[in-house]
Amino acid sequence: MIDKIKEELNKVFYPGKTNSVIKEGVIGNITTEDGVVSIELLMKEDNPNVIQLLQKSIPNAVKKIEGVKDVNLIINLPKHDEEPPKLQNIRYILATTSGKGGVGKSTVSVNLAISLSKFGYKVGLLDADIYGPNIPRMMGIDGIPVALDPKNKDKILPIVKYGIKIISIGSMIPKDAAVIWRGPLINQVIKQFLNDVTWGELDFLIVDLPPGTGDAQLTLAQEAKVSGGIIVTTPQNVALDDAAKAYDFFVKLKVPVVGVIENMSYFVCPKCGYRSDIFSHGGGEAFAKKTKIPFLGEIPIDIQIREGGDEGSPVSISAPDSVVAKAFADAARSIIETLKNA
């Protein structure tokens, strides 16, 4: 099997080169278990575009081999001695991510931002989900265009709502328009969102990353010193498997992970009070224990959360005394504690 894998890898070109990935010397250890192939990538560069291309081309090639069910890439990035820059005037940058899409990452980002703001902190929210920017709708700023800063025409003014400074590509492109940019443009937008927005003094900048382990995560970690990564997962195994990949990516990017939050943890019928664990339960906490990162709590499936998201009035605003709003506030408190002790 390993020989066949190497044979296939010999046909995969290293992006931008005429050599195969094997000849370029980036293939490390290869192991197989029950049809799952794990391949270590020993990267000599951390160009996000190259990594993203390899994340597609290598699994595509290896999956052609009979008996291969899945391919895991273990990416080892080159070691840098220099630290990414600390953004002036921003005390803590927090990045929320999830392995899987649709698990409630943006919901967690907006409600954490609001909770922190209610504690009296100055908070910004950067929507780095360029392909699916949901923050404008969730924060009720859909359709409000961004403006240039009248004091410095090279900078963009964030839109302020619920006391939070918000920037999203969704405020810059027509609604319903699909973004079809490739990696380099995504990197550019994230760099600009970090550096060319008049953020002013912030205690916290929450960056809502797209799901997965791609360009946005890499660009953010290279461009700014991220104080803490937050992993959002739902309890079922398929989401937890992907959360583990997101965690591993943060570790590789040297981003300290400040916690994991389990969303859609359970459902309590509002009529009869019966509780059902629709997506299973407890996987997030078990994952936190295994990886020794703080567990930030569990958020139930709650109609107020979905309504709040759709109507632009997040539950921490529309129902501040609800169980879920309190759970978000507790998660925010726990993150502050972790950062203080770091």
Ligand X SMILES: Nc1ncnc2c1ncn2[C@@H]1O[C@H](COP(=O)(O)OP(=O)(O)OP(=O)(O)O)[C@@H](O)[C@H]1O
Q: Is 102 annotated as a binding residue?
A: yes
Least distance to ligand X from the beta carbon of 109, Å? Answer: 7
C-alpha closest to that of 103 among 295, 241, 291: 241
Least distance to ligand X from the beta carbon of 333, Å? Answer: 19
Cβ proximity to ligand X: between 8 and 129 the closer is: 129
- Indicate the helix (H) or strand (E) that contains 263: strand 257-268
How many CB atoms within 10 Å of residue 279?
A: 21
Cα separation, 68 vs 305, whole angstroms: 40
Least distance to ligand X from the beta carbon of 303, Å? Answer: 7
Beta bridge partners of 30: 39
Cβ proximity to ligand X: between 156 and 232 the closer is: 232
Q: β-strands 164-168, 202-208: how paired? A: unpaired
Report the residue from 58, 90, 103, 296 that binds ligand X according to the rule CB under 6 A. 103
**316 binds ligand X per the rule CB under 6 A:** no
How many CB atoms within 10 Å of residue 145?
A: 9
**Residues 166-185, interacting with ligand X (CB under 6 A):** none
**263 binds ligand X per the rule CB under 6 A:** yes
DSSP 78: P
**298 binds ligand X per the rule CB under 6 A:** no
Residue 134, CB-side half-sphere exposure with 13 Å CA sphere: 22
DSSP code string of 150-193 = TTEEEEEEPEEETTEEEEEGGGTS-TTPPP---HHHHHHHHHHH
Q: Residues touching ligand X: how many (CB under 6 A)?
A: 20
Q: Is 67 annotated as a binding residue?
A: no
> Interacting stretch for ligand X, rule CB under 6 A, among 41-49, 194-202, 280-288, 294-302?
294-302
> Interacting stretch for ligand X, rule CB under 6 A, among 17-25, 102-110, 149-157, 331-339?
102-110
**294 binds ligand X per the rule CB under 6 A:** no
Binding-site residues for ATP: 99-106
Per CB under 6 A, residues contacting ligand X are 98, 101-107, 129, 132, 134, 211, 263-264, 299, 301-302, 305-306, 309
